[in-house]
Each structure stands twice: as C-alpha cells, then as structure tokens.
Amino acid sequence: MIKRNHIRHFLALADAGSFAQAAARLHITQPTLSSGIAELERLVGSRLFLRDRRHVRLTETGGAFLPIARDLERGFRVADSFGAAPAVEWPTLRLGVLRTVANRDLGRIVAALSAHYGIEVIEGTDYDLRAALTGGRIHLALTLLREAEHDLVAHPLWEEAYTMLVPTTHPLAGRDHVAPEDLAGEIMIARRSCEILEDTSRFFTGAGVRPRFALRSESDERCLAMVAAGLGITTAPASLAIDGTVPLAVDGYAFRRRIGLLHDRQWSPGGGMALEHMLEPARLSSATP
C-alpha cells in the first residue's frame, strides 16, 4: 500500500534531483530515502527515477506519476486542515522568489502583480520553492525553469547567461573574452547561493584553474559589492551586474538559466485576467544577453 511517506519521499527527490539534498530537506538519512523510493517503485511496478553519478531524473513513468503524487499530497493537506478555522484573507498572493533573482527584476514583477494582489514574498532556493508549491505554502514561484515541468504551469520571463564579473578597473575588463587559463592567478569571490556552483568548480578545475578565495558569502549583494571594490572576481548571472562591474566572457563557460513563474495546475490568477496580462507592465519579454 502506498503511504504518505512514499509520496513525500518521491516529491522531495523529484524536486531536488539529488538523494543527498532530498534527504537533508526531509531530515532523514539517504539510506532511509533510498529504501522508501525502492519500496515505492516496487509498489507501482516500475522505475520512477534514472540515477547517475551527478543527477537523478524522472523516468517517463515517474513523470506520469508526478501529477498523481501532487494530487495525493494536496488531498493529505486538505484532510489535515479539515475543520480548521478559515484562513485569513491577506495575503491574497504568496510569491516565492529565488534568492539569486536581481532586485530590479523582482521589483518590476512585484510592481506589476501588486496592482492585483496583496503580496507576501518568501525567499528560497529552487528546491525550497518547488517544495513550497507542493505543500501549498505559496501560490507562485519565481525560479529556474527546467526543460520539462511535467505537472506545473510555467510562464517563461527571461533567459540569461552566467558570466564572469570583474571590476571596471580590472586589466582584463576591456577584453571581449579570455581563456580559463588567463584567470589562473586571479583572486575569486564565491557566491554560495549560486545554482551552478558545483558545475563552475568542475569547469575551472578541469581547466587547471585552482583560485584563491577572498570571500565566500551567501549574500549576492555583498559579493557583487566586493567585486566592484576590487576585492576579487566572481561568476554570476548577467542580471546581477552592478555599477563598477563589467561582464567578461570565458571561453567554454556557456552556462545559461531560464527564469519564470511556476504555479500548480489548479491555481488560477482570479479576477478574469490572465497572468501574462498582469505582467505586461513589467516588460519581461526580452531576453537578457
């Protein structure tokens, strides 16, 4: 018999894409999570995940099971809250926001939506926000978009490249591009909030670049301010560039991200207006280079 723990394990792994991250979020051990997933796969009679050394992704069967699991979790939540007092009317929209979205971009989205809703903003990682959507704790998530969202409705907003950001006074600032080896002697700043931190580390390690770090911080604002001050250089989405910094293309460093709004298929904007129309004042149709 499929139990709620099976559903929680499945959704956590589907959202995190990693046994380690999913287990940490559920506050259980990886063997416990692995056992739960294996038991669920036996119950449904098919593999739900494809596993390799770096990633875990849904099989075709897993993708088909995902909306069923979401519906089951919603049902459990309804049962948990049955008989509870009605929810307070405010906020009318709980907006989850990826921590690495630039303030100016978030500001124009909030400005467009606030004409229609009373908004509460909740910050988090991509995993946090997807879990919050599943748990019904937020209505919308401004976050990374995947190639296939399966059971979530996606509203793409912009796409942008990850780049190296250097001070305007840096000797390489005037270059169109550099080879990774040209950065071997540079002092770096590590953005711990970066979604591709491990990929970036592997890229430079593979090129023989093992930099020294002047700062490791969760705060993008601090990291970029220190780049502008000349403390070091860092990789970041192009939208995070601030005054005093300039982008520098690194050969082979071709990572990109897509940002958009996600919501559950059962959620609707209300008021008879499509979400895209609400967002028109934000002018988010053009992609960031």
Question: What's the half-sphere exposure (Cβ side, CA atoms, 13 Å) at 184?
Answer: 7
Q: Which pLDDT does position 266 carry in this prediction? A: 86
- Say whether 186 sits in a helix, a strand or coil: coil
> Which of 238, 174, 250, 173 has its CA nearest to residue 211?
250
Residue 210: its pLDDT value, please?
92
Whether the domain at 4-81 and the domain at 93-158+257-282 fall into the same CATH topology: no
Q: What is the pLDDT of residue 235?
A: 98
Residue 47 · residue 65 · CB < 8 Å: no
For the chain, give every domain's residue range.
4-81, 93-158+257-282, 159-256
CATH architecture of 159-256: 3-Layer(aba) Sandwich (3.40)
Report the CATH architecture of 4-81.
Answer: Orthogonal Bundle (1.10)
Looking at the chain, which runs of residues are DSSP E strands? 49-51, 56-58, 93-98, 119-124, 140-144, 152-167, 177-178, 187-191, 212-217, 234-237, 245-250, 256-264
- The architecture CATH gives domain 93-158+257-282: 3-Layer(aba) Sandwich (3.40)
Please give the structure tokens belonging to residue 248. Answer: 């520098």
In this prediction, residue 27 carries a pLDDT of 87
pTM for the structure as a whole = 0.74
In order along its 289 residues, the chain shows pLDDT tens digits of: 899 999 999 999 988 888 988 888 888 999 999 999 999 999 999 999 998 766 788 999 998 999 899 888 888 877 877 776 655 567 789 999 999 999 999 999 999 999 899 999 999 999 999 989 988 889 999 999 998 887 899 999 999 999 999 999 999 998 989 999 999 999 999 999 999 999 999 999 999 999 999 999 999 999 999 999 999 999 999 999 999 999 999 999 999 999 999 999 888 887 677 898 888 877 654 445 4
